[in-house]
Amino acid sequence: MGPSSLRKQKRPKKEKGVSKKKPKEAKPSGASKPTPSSKARTPSTVSLSKWIPIEKNFPLPAYAKEAIASLTEAGFSAYLVGGAVRDFLLGLPIKDYDLATDATPDEVLSLFPSALGVGKAFGVMKIPQENGTMLEIATFREDAEYTDYRHPKSVRFAGPEEDARRRDFTVNGLFYDPKTRRILDAVDGFADLQAKKLRAIGDANARLKEDALRVLRAVRFSVRFGFTIEESTRVALREHARFTRKVSAERVRDEITLMLKGPQPGEAVVLLRELGIASLWIPDIAKVKSGVFAAMERDPSPRSTAFVYAVALSEVGGEEPEKAIQGAADRLRLSGEEKRRVMDLVGNLPKFKDAFQMREATLMRWVSEPYFDELLQLHAVVVQAGDGNLMAGRFLEKLRQDFLSSPPAERLVNGSDLIALGFSPGPQFTDILHTMEDLQIEKKILTKDGALEYVVKHFVR
């Protein structure tokens, strides 16, 4: 169900002459606050024309309902905000439930003693839940000047309209009031949802200068939801792509990883290239054929972080490919294990062309590697974008299945045996063990006595 189908039908007017009690005067919903230190509250600036009735109920988990009830019973407003509202209107599963309120952080803490004040300086409190999630409750606020391309210098508590206007994109600037089943739209986000358009709130250049991570979030949102990026926003994204260097590499990596693991990695890569982001962070991704990402989209297998970056770097080439891979992994702050896995995957990809010429022991040792399932997955998506010849991959996949179905036999010769024969640990020691393992795998030696006899005959001087 799209956003346009959720509006409520107008209620018929009540008959004249019907008397009703005058309701008690309520505290204005979303009342503005001048500063975090001030207790005085000014009247709300919310215009009734910005409220949009919604037909469908917002599905809320029990902990969110209880938090909303606690806030409203204490005389505060409490709205669902951000991604939860956007995904609700788009008919998508909701991952996180965040609340916005006119209660100050200290007032939130008095209602929820377990609340964590990690973001208290910015009006944000987090309440741990029994299921391991965190419920975020933020005070309506305006942000002061941003000084590090990520965080405001300070905040001023305000009303919901001001809070909406400080956010990144119009589709993320909507508030939902569960008491009245209405959407508060101060930024025309509802219309942009209907039009499937991604637009920065207010001045796009100002929004992106405040937080350069929004450049990457724009790409991810556009691809994830199939939104067209509004032209002035697109121009600003190109202009501010270079400022993503001001953002921590870990945050950039997380955004790119979400795109590559998402349903449309190919479209994400196109946008990353068009906007000048790929050249800053992962330039070798431009060498990868679009068909590789198309094949990856068709593959239902889970994608690990190492796998998606192996795909992105599968055409790295050059005289020192390992150095290039290591440089990209370090730039994006991949973990040591992820970096090693990417290098294993990309480095072993060329071996497929020699699979039918390899000796049996080499093949069996190769398919026993822990990364081999992902290597098969990588080979499949790369080949499908090329000549489409999957014979080597299928041959190796059968060997891999055979290996997994029958655990390797105990070695016929081990280190203790060699020491008993007078050998000392060293290069020759390792070579003998390797040779004997090859002969055992290829079933050329079947017993321990036969193996020891072979060692004495060929290696004892």
Query: Of 312, 324, 319, 322, whose CA–CA distance to 348 is shortest?
Result: 322
Q: What confidence score (pLDDT) does residue 118 get?
A: 87
- Contact by Cβ (8 Å): 277, 269: no
CA separation for the pair 329, 282 (Å, rounded) = 9
Q: In this predicted structure, what is the pLDDT of residue 421?
A: 87
Give the model's pLDDT for residue 42.
37
Which residues, other chains included, contact 75 with Cβ-Cβ below 8 Å and sequence gap of 6+?
A: 27
374: Cα within 13 Å, side-chain hemisphere: 22
Cα distances (angstroms) measured from residue 100 to each of 81, 124, 125:
6, 9, 10
Contact 277, 219 (CB under 8 A): yes
pLDDT at 54 over 70: yes
Per the CB < 8 A criterion, the answer to whether 179 and 73 are in contact is no
- Tokens 């060329």 appear where? 350
Q: What is the pLDDT of residues 318-333, one digit of tens each?
A: 678 889 999 999 999 9
Our measurement of the distance from residue 433's CA atom to the centroid of its chain's CA atoms, rounded to an integer in Å, reads 45
State which amino acid sits at residue 298.
Answer: R
CA 168/CA 215 separation, integer angstroms: 10
In the beta sheet, which residues pair with residue 125?
A: 137
Q: How far apart are CA 433 and CA 418, in angstroms?
A: 9
pLDDT digits (tens, 9 = 90+) for 358-414: 988 899 889 989 999 999 999 999 999 988 899 999 999 999 998 888 767 788 888
3 state SS of 128: strand
How many angstroms separate the CA atoms of 182 and 195, rounded?
Answer: 20
229: closest CA among 248, 241, 215?
A: 215
User: Residue 100: how many CB atoms within 10 A of its CB?
Assistant: 25
147-168 pLDDT, tens per residue? 766 777 778 999 999 999 999 9
| For range 180-207, the mean pLDDT | 96
The span from the CA of 386 to the CA of 172, in Å, is 40
CA-CA distance, 34 to 138, in Å (whole number)?
Answer: 16
Specify whether the backbone of 273 is left (phi greater than 0), alpha (psi in -120 to 50) or beta: alpha
Q: How many whole angstroms separate alpha carbon 216 and alpha carbon 312?
A: 17
The set of residues, in sequence order, having a beta carbon less than 8 Å from that of 379 and lying 6+ positions away, is: 349, 352, 392, 393
> What's the pLDDT score for residue 233?
98
pLDDT over threshold 50, residue 286: yes
The angle subtended at Cα 256 by Cα 238 and Cα 304, nearest 5°, is 165
Cβ atoms of 153 and 145 within 8 Å: the answer is: yes
Question: Taking residues 266-293, what's their average pLDDT?
Answer: 96
Tokens of 285: 């991704």
Residue 35 has pLDDT above 50, yes or no: no
CA dist 34 and 130 (Å) reads 35
Q: Please tell me whether the overall predicted TM-score, pTM, comes out greater than 0.95 for this model.
A: no
